[in-house]
Structure 1
Amino acid sequence: MTSALPNSLGNHALPSLPSLEDTLQRRWGNPWLLGPEVLPIWPIIDEISQKLAAQPSSLCANPSDYPMAAILVAEVDPVRCLAATLAGLRRGFTVALANPRWGQREWQQVDEVLQPDRSQPLVPDWELYVAKLPPTEIPEIKTPELLITTGGSGGQIKFARHTWETLMASVQGFQAHFQIATVNAYCVLPLYHVSGLMQALRTLATNGQLILQPYAELKQGQPFPLPAENPGFLSLVPTQLQELLNQGDTYLPWLRQFQAILLGGATPWPALLTQARTLSLPLAPTYGMTETASQVATLRPDEFLAGQTGSGRPLPHATISVLDDHHQPQPPNQPGRLAITAPSLFKGYLRVPDSRLPTPDSRLPTPDSPFLTDDIGYLNDQGYLHILGRHSTTLITGGEKVQPEELESLLLTTDLVQAVCIVGLPDAHWGQAVCALVVPQPGVALAQLADWLAPQVVPYKRPKYWMAVNALPQTAQGKVDRRAALAMARRLITD
């Protein structure tokens, strides 16, 4: 389906894409970022900007070249994370966003690619470091980029390369889709993820306000009050919405105030959608990813409440095509791989040098071809998108990606297991629950495996179920039969 960007937002003229510098100058000093009170982001941006301006010139190939340095931001505090990101881009540095809760496995990958000196933070007691762009990227990169991490095959971390222009194109598509000039948002998602970051940028660029509250605090039953005239948007993953609804009527009056509750990160289960519709919640199921700078299709709340299903129509800036195995367009209602064309598309993944250079990714967008995703879905006769699953083995748990091969490889490096297969069990709370089927070495308890894996990976990757089996099912070629392994796990969980 193809949609052209309209030249108006209802009665509002569609603004031109603002530059970062223009945006910061226009908003500077504005009480834009809110928590229990106004959050002091502007002096923090100024402080970090001065720190970056004082970096030695040796970080550049020569004074006229693009800096070979990047800024790695690994701040769990959302104000610090956002301030450091904006300050780095403002000073012309490429900024890489890191998950501060990564385990040893993930940090090892980042250290190999960007070589951050994590013993010398730019600011004492901050998780903010100078890093190095791979030499393969220097001749190619001409403007500051924002590197946002996403999981790849085998659990390999990839940095998706975005520019201010790709991010603003996403903002403009959001405005047009919801016919709104000023975007307000209530953010409970981390700002180092594209889902949290884009909430901040939408509000910053459109003269809106952003309310920040950690989800753990929101879940304690103390949401902040919303603006009366423009309550704005709340973004949740399905697991979070289910947890809030499990509190009875506690959150219902508050949730109903939002213009839309954007629901993404994983496919919501039917019972959750039915419950939300029965409770008259303004739900807006979305489809998007890091590579597209968040959503490229969204079901508007009025459509959801009227009984429409799926992920909605493509946003005005995006084209979504459904392709068969030969990359030919599928007719309506026929499933296939989703391919996306949009000005919000990333510029590719950060390349790494020498032995770490990955196999070229045929899914990357080019001027002549769209971005071929790993998702399977279809567009119905009215152009509404429906997602059916993943082309690969990727698991989605609580909105986070988990690659089974990564966990299997890690466990097989020990002398604790003979064989292992990671599968995703259907789960009403998490979407998929990570489950490890293992053939342990004699005398090894499952608790030993869980204890060994815990410091290696971020918490959401850790299996929620460990099952000891005598042998794993195999295909005729001698490989683990993942489909049969999943069936085995489902039998065991019900026994």
Structure 2
Amino acid sequence: MDYQISPKSQNFNIPNPHNFLIAENGDLFLDIVQQTLGELINYHQEYGKTATILMAEPDPVIFLATFWAGIMANCSLILANPNWSIGEWEQVFNRIGQTDLQFGKIPKIANIDHVNNPVNMRRSPFPDGSILIPTGGTSGTIKFAVHTWETLTASAIGFQQYFDQSQINSFCILPLFHVSGLMQFVRSLITGGQLVIWSGKNLENRDYPQLDISDFFISLVPTQLHRLLHHPQTANWLSKFTTVLLGGSPPWLELLNQARRHQIRLSPTYGMTETASGVVTLKPDDFLAGNNSSGRVLPHAKVMIVDPQGQPVKSPEIGLIKIQANSLSWGHDTQINQPRLTQLITDDLGYFDECGYLTLVGRQGDKIITGGENVFPVEVEAAILATGMVADVCVVGIGDRHWGEVVTAVYVPHDPPVSIQILANSLGDRLSRYKHPKNWIAVDTLPRNDRGKINRQLVIQQIQN
């Protein structure tokens, strides 16, 4: 790559993180940072290079301390999920090659030599200061967005400006190796706020910390919010946050209405790993007033709606979402020898209204064409979930000689289940007739990842086998 990355201390005034972390063993954070930083400095002195580090640390305090030490030592950091399967780890090692140092829960895989051995090894080809964050979206194929400390802080500063907060206090229950969890750490650290690390399972069991959360942000995915709202006590607790950020996958209308009934200060967001989290966000006051969009564009970004040729379309025409942002990643791990990304035309479809609010329609790649009509699964899924008759649902298109594709609802029934006829009739006039599923298939579970995203290709394979 043709860029140089400077240590963050040369560009940012970072507060001392000694007391900002509220977590089990959080008081050990700074000690672990100093110990790890010493190891990384010794590595540099012994081998004459900064280390490329693979991180799959399940303990959140150790993870964050190692990450922060790596940033200060200008290392290249590769973030990983400690719970990946062997097959997923094989994907990862085939993509990133060998690394200098490893921290955390990393399996030993036959025929892949990835043991710490800094001498005469083929290094991962990532420049000093790179931060590789895993993403896979709905495809199920693991890849990494290549960020830097500068792109992450650009996102955090844009967030701070948009919400007009001097300090960002974050209550984190999302995985730290994903951008959604990691950015909560970055926002709180660089603004001098506090960061609480808590377990999502604890919240579902109505185990809350003894803490004033009135000036805290919490980030959730729709499936988490759906589960938490089942308990009135938890819904009341959520309503005390200054902002409940909601992202990762599209929410459905009934979920938004349920949150509004509980007076939860919800803030739906639109962003992705490649943009270092949200670039469009709805403010809570707008949400409580009845706005169901994804909100307005944050200060560090520019978002346009374009046609398939990349040309702008007039509002409120639907088109592909194009993003330019200071937080945009340099590219993916397989693109490191190509010029840095300056813009990103996504697969997402949406439109801006006359007030500058963005509404998402669906993904171009998920579109079902049935009898010549376009159907977007997100809309159909939202209508089915709004009936309250299923626990979960995924809508896909299955090839058909007559229709081209048929709309198929793969769903997890409630216990006790209702009949398919009742389910089909419940849609009524919620959808145009051509959008109604022709097939209904009940399953025990749907393949969602830890951010709530569903793998549609896996669903299709599941019902065709």
The bucket for the TM-score relative to the shorter chain is 0.7 to 0.9
Contact 1:187/1:211 (CA < 8 Å) preserved in 2? yes
Residue 382 of structure 1: aligned partner = 355
Count of matched residue pairs: 391
Question: Can you list the C-alpha shifts for 1:365-401, whole angstroms capped at 9, x where unaligned?
Answer: 644xx21111111111100000111122499xxxxxx
Residue 408 of structure 2: aligned partner = 486
Q: Report the CA distance between 1:83 and its aligned residue.
A: 1.3
Q: Does 1:313 align with 2:272?
A: no
Residue 151 of structure 2, aligned match among 136, 148, 166: 166
Name the CA distance, whole Å, in 1 between partners of 2:253 and 2:395.
22
Q: Does 1:55 align with 2:38?
A: no
Name the CA distance, whole Å, in 1 between partners of 2:107 and 2:72.
19
Residue 373 of structure 2: aligned partner = none
**Residue 80 of structure 1: SS of its match in structure 2?**
helix
**Residue 234 of structure 1: SS of its match in structure 2?**
strand
Contact 1:70/1:131 (CA < 8 Å) preserved in 2? no
Q: Report the CA distance between 1:492 and its aligned residue.
A: 3.3
**Structure 1 residues 360-399: aligned runs within 5 Å:** 366-367=341-342, 370-393=343-366
Which letter does structure 2 place at the counterpart of 1:105? Answer: G
Name the CA distance, whole Å, in 2 between partners of 1:485 and 1:134.
48
Contact 1:297/1:311 (CA < 8 Å) preserved in 2? yes
**Residue 208 of structure 2: SS of its match in structure 1?**
coil
Name the CA distance, whole Å, in 1 between partners of 2:123 and 2:218.
40
Residue 374 of structure 2: aligned partner = none
Q: Report the CA distance between 1:54 and its aligned residue.
A: 3.2
Name the CA distance, whole Å, in 1 between partners of 2:240 and 2:32.
32
Q: Does 1:46 align with 2:34?
A: yes
Distance 1:253 1:23, change over 3 A: farther
Contact 1:234/1:260 (CA < 8 Å) preserved in 2? yes
Contact 1:269/1:431 (CA < 8 Å) preserved in 2? no
Contact 2:54/2:103 (CA < 8 Å) preserved in 1? no
Question: Can you list the C-alpha shifts for 1:436-477, whole angstroms capped at 9, x where unaligned?
Answer: 99xxxxxxxxxxxxxxxxxxxxxxxxxxxxxxxxxx74569x
TM-score, normalised via structure 1 length: 0.70
Contact 1:89/1:145 (CA < 8 Å) preserved in 2? no
Contact 1:337/1:374 (CA < 8 Å) preserved in 2? yes
Which letter does structure 2 place at the counterpart of 1:19? Answer: K
Residue 33 of structure 1, aligned match among 21, 29, 39: 21
Q: Does 1:81 align with 2:66?
A: no
Residue 337 of structure 1, aligned match among 301, 320, 323: 320
Name the CA distance, whole Å, in 1 between partners of 2:203 and 2:263.
21
How many percent of aligned residue pairs carry the same amino acid? 36
- Of structures 1 and 2, the one scoring higher in RCO (CA 8 A, sep 6+) is 1
Contact 2:331/2:341 (CA < 8 Å) preserved in 1? no
Q: Specify every segment of 5 or more residues in structure 2 that has no aligned partner in the other structure, as ranges.
A: 1-6, 109-113, 369-376, 412-436, 444-465
Distance 1:149 1:91, change over 3 A: same
RMSD (Å) for aligned C-alpha atoms = 3.8
Name the CA distance, whole Å, in 1 between partners of 2:220 and 2:138.
26
TM-score, normalised via structure 2 length: 0.74
Residue 347 of structure 1: aligned partner = 330
Q: Report the CA distance between 1:291 and its aligned residue.
A: 0.5
Distance 1:217 1:134, change over 3 A: farther
Q: Does 1:72 align with 2:45?
A: no
Name the CA distance, whole Å, in 2 between partners of 1:184 and 1:36.
17
Residue 463 of structure 1: aligned partner = none
Contact 2:55/2:104 (CA < 8 Å) preserved in 1? no
Name the CA distance, whole Å, in 1 between partners of 2:22 and 2:274.
28
Q: Specify every segment of 5 or more residues in structure 1 that has no aligned partner in the other structure, as ranges.
A: 1-17, 396-422, 438-471
Distance 1:219 1:55, change over 3 A: same
Name the CA distance, whole Å, in 1 between partners of 2:30 and 2:154.
25
Contact 2:296/2:357 (CA < 8 Å) preserved in 1? yes
Question: Can you list the C-alpha shifts for 1:295-324, whole angstroms capped at 9, x where unaligned?
Answer: 001100000011112100001111100001
Contact 1:113/1:134 (CA < 8 Å) preserved in 2? no
Q: Report the CA distance between 1:55 and its aligned residue.
A: 2.9
**Residue 269 of structure 2: SS of its match in structure 1?**
strand
Q: Report the CA distance between 1:89 and its aligned residue.
A: 1.9
Name the CA distance, whole Å, in 2 between partners of 1:272 and 1:33.
31
Residue 304 of structure 1: aligned partner = 287
Question: Can you list the C-alpha shifts for 1:131-153, whole angstroms capped at 9, x where unaligned?
Answer: 99987945xx3x40110011168
Residue 218 of structure 2: aligned partner = 234
Residue 310 of structure 2: aligned partner = 327
Name the CA distance, whole Å, in 2 between partners of 1:384 and 1:225.
37
Residue 278 of structure 1: aligned partner = 261
Contact 2:315/2:352 (CA < 8 Å) preserved in 1? yes
Residue 8 of structure 2: aligned partner = 19
Residue 82 of structure 2: aligned partner = 100
Distance 1:97 1:154, change over 3 A: same
Name the CA distance, whole Å, in 2 between partners of 1:392 and 1:117.
34
